[in-house]
Every structure is written in C-alpha cells, then in structure tokens.
Amino acid sequence: MKKIATAVAVLAFASSALASEGADLYKSKCASCHGPDGKGDVPIGKTLKVKSLVGTKLSAADIDKIVAEGKPGTKMVAVKSLSPEQRKAVAAFVKSLP
C-alpha cells in the first residue's frame, strides 16, 4: 500500500513539474494567439477566431499532434522549435487549464 501511495505521489509531482515547464513554454510560444489564460481573448486570437482551450475535450496526445503538425483548415501552424518533451509539457499545461 505504501508503494502505491509513493507511486501516486511521484506521478503527481511529475505531472505538476511537466505542467509547470509547459506553462513557461505556453507563455512564450502560444499565449500571443491563445491568450495567457487559454481563452483566445486577445486581439490576434479574436482575428483568427481561436477557440478557447479552457476545458478542451482534446486529449494531451491530440494537443501534442496539433502543436507538432499544425491544424489543417485553420491558421494553426506547427511549432517546429519544440521538442517532443516540450510539446508534451505544453499539452499537460493546456489540460491543466481550469
């Protein structure tokens, strides 16, 4: 039982650390269009008709793929400067938005 509690604590810490790293990356790479709160309520986000990321039903894997490849039919382009680990961190941060 103690091992399970330890594993859960480690996973929670890792998830929190990942989201924290993702917050910094999001701020530098995504917030200009998606807004600091993920709502897209910034001038360029309104112009591009960016959908809110808050409470998104996209999975972290879907977010990772969109960041890596862009999203056809939208103005969302691939963010090629992010490594796979950084994309996962951004996805974890987006999933943590309230």
pLDDT (tens digit, 0 to 9) for every residue of the chain, 98 residues total?
A: 665 654 444 444 455 677 779 999 999 999 999 999 999 999 999 999 999 999 999 999 999 999 999 999 999 999 999 999 999 999 999 999 98
Q: Which domain holds residue 67?
A: 2-96
Interhelix angle for 60-69 vs 84-96, to 10°? 130
DSSP 74: S
Q: How high is the pLDDT of residue 20?
A: 79
User: pLDDT value at position 39?
Assistant: 97
In CATH, what number is assigned to the domain containing residue 92?
A: 1.10.760.10
Closest CA to 18 of 83, 96, 98: 96
For residue 67 the two structure tokens come to 């960041």
Question: How far apart (Å, rounded) are the C-alpha atoms in residues 74 and 8?
Answer: 38
Residue written as tokens 């039919």? 73
Q: How many domains does the chain have?
A: 1
